[in-house]
Amino acid sequence: AAAGKGGYDHYMLKEIFEQPEAIRNAIRGRIDKDRGTAILSGLGLSPRELVDFQRLLIVGCGTSLNAGLVGEYAVESFAAMLAEVEQAAEFRYRNPIVGSKDLVIAISQSGETADTLAAVREAIDKGALVAGLVNVVGSTIAREAGRGIYLHAGPEISVASTKAFTCQVSVLLLVALKLARGRRMSRDEGVKITREILGIPALVQQVLEKNDAIAKIANNFIKCEHMFYIGRGYMYPVALEGALKMKEISYIHAEAYNAAELKHGPIALLDGNMPVVALMNRGPGQEKTVGNVEECRARKAPVLGVITEGDEEAKVACDWTIEVPDCPHYIATIVCTVALQLFSYHVARLRGCSIDQPRNLAKSVTVE
């Protein structure tokens, strides 16, 4: 098994470090730089057909659901197309309104998650066009959907998903680009976005180089019982995924909120024993999040900020910071998530947790 881990102490750490390569594989051959668009032949749809959909509905569970939320935001902002993300289990059991005008994308690393599979069957029954965004080739969801996009992330062994998430988001950005170029987005804008997407692996590499610094910061969190994660816009799904990772492997109770929602209840819980992890990197809504962080500090909550490199103003608002490279927020979903993966990994390691096999969790959940 040590050989399987390629010299890393855990599969999770190995898979975190594989991300630049995994993302390169996920986007390889899928980008048309000259035309500023994506090539997604597995969808089996002409550009014309893609334009005819009235809505994109994304379903998934757990980490795949969090990736889906980034997809929803990207499709709405790039393509000005109605997009929704829904927990697969909820979708399945409430007689959903879905039909032939809907493109449904089911996201699943394993391709075997029972709730997601049930949603796929329901959507097919109701006449929607269903595509899988799946990592495991030949898995049940991939077969039943009949069309889709394979992630090519390589095998993910660690129960806590890492590289599947960043590959899912990378591919969803391609889906958003494709839908957008068929609708409102200019070629120039498309070209700019393809360049940014091609730059993701190098940005992720820069975050991996912060591993030692992140490990040091993690020392301050090993005795925590609770944590809040906050972010706005694209950084909200990142907060959700950061908190999920922390819960899964360290068993610390971590809750994610939109930073604005904090004042509508959760702020009552803030005191010196409730650290807050804040996504404060530069982008839309950043000043507001910095304001929310100041409200947290006023209640004595210690703050770990994920900030843009060199942003001194954000830095002084925090007790600790992880600095990430400057990039558009839709790309920062990946960049910041990698930083938070490393953060949870080190907190869990320092707490002596069973990182690759957390209690009560399974890699793939085949019961509803």
* Residues forming the active site: 363
Q: List all residues 6 or more positions away from 14 whose beta carbon is below 8 Å from its beta carbon.
A: 5, 6, 8
Instruction: Give the residue with the Cβ less far from ligand G6P, 242 or 283.
Output: 242
Instruction: Specify whether the CB–CB gap between 14 and 5 falls below 8 A.
Output: yes
In this complex, which beta carbon is closest to ligand G6P, that of residue 172 or of residue 327?
172
Please state whether beta strands 37-38 and 31-32 pair in parallel, antiparallel, or not at all (unpaired).
antiparallel
Q: Are 208 and 20 in contact (CB under 8 A)?
A: yes
Q: Which residue is nearest to ligand G6P (CB)?
A: 62
Examine residue 240 and tell whether it contacts ligand G6P (CB under 6 A). no
Strands 129-134 and 148-150: parallel
Q: Does 344 bind ligand G6P (CB under 6 A)?
A: no
> CA angle, 190 as apex, 186 and 195 as ends, to 5°?
155
Find the part of the chain contacting ligand G6P (CB under 6 A) among 60-68, 121-129, 293-301, 340-348.
60-68
For residues 80-109, which are near ligand G6P according to CB under 6 A? 108-109
Taking residues 151 to 170 in sequence order and writing x for each that binds ligand G6P by CB under 6 A, - otherwise, the string is: --------xxx---------
| Size of the residue set binding ligand G6P (CB under 6 A) | 16
Q: Which residue of 113, 250, 333, 344 would you call a contact of ligand G6P, by CB under 6 A?
A: 113
d(CA 344, CA 248): 9
Identity of the residue numbered 208: L
3 state DSSP class of 255? strand
Q: Which of 20, 36, 62, 275 binds ligand G6P (CB under 6 A)?
A: 62
Query: Which of 37, 116, 258, 321 lies at the binding interface for ligand G6P (CB under 6 A)?
Result: 116
Q: Please report whether residue 145 would count as binding ligand G6P according to CB under 6 A.
A: no
321 belongs to the binding site for ligand G6P (CB under 6 A): no
CB 330 within 8 A of CB 201: no
Under a CB-based contact definition with an 8 Å cutoff, are residues 231 and 258 in contact?
yes
Q: Would you tell me which residues interact with ligand G6P (CB under 6 A)?
A: 61-64, 108-110, 113, 116, 159-161, 361, 363-365
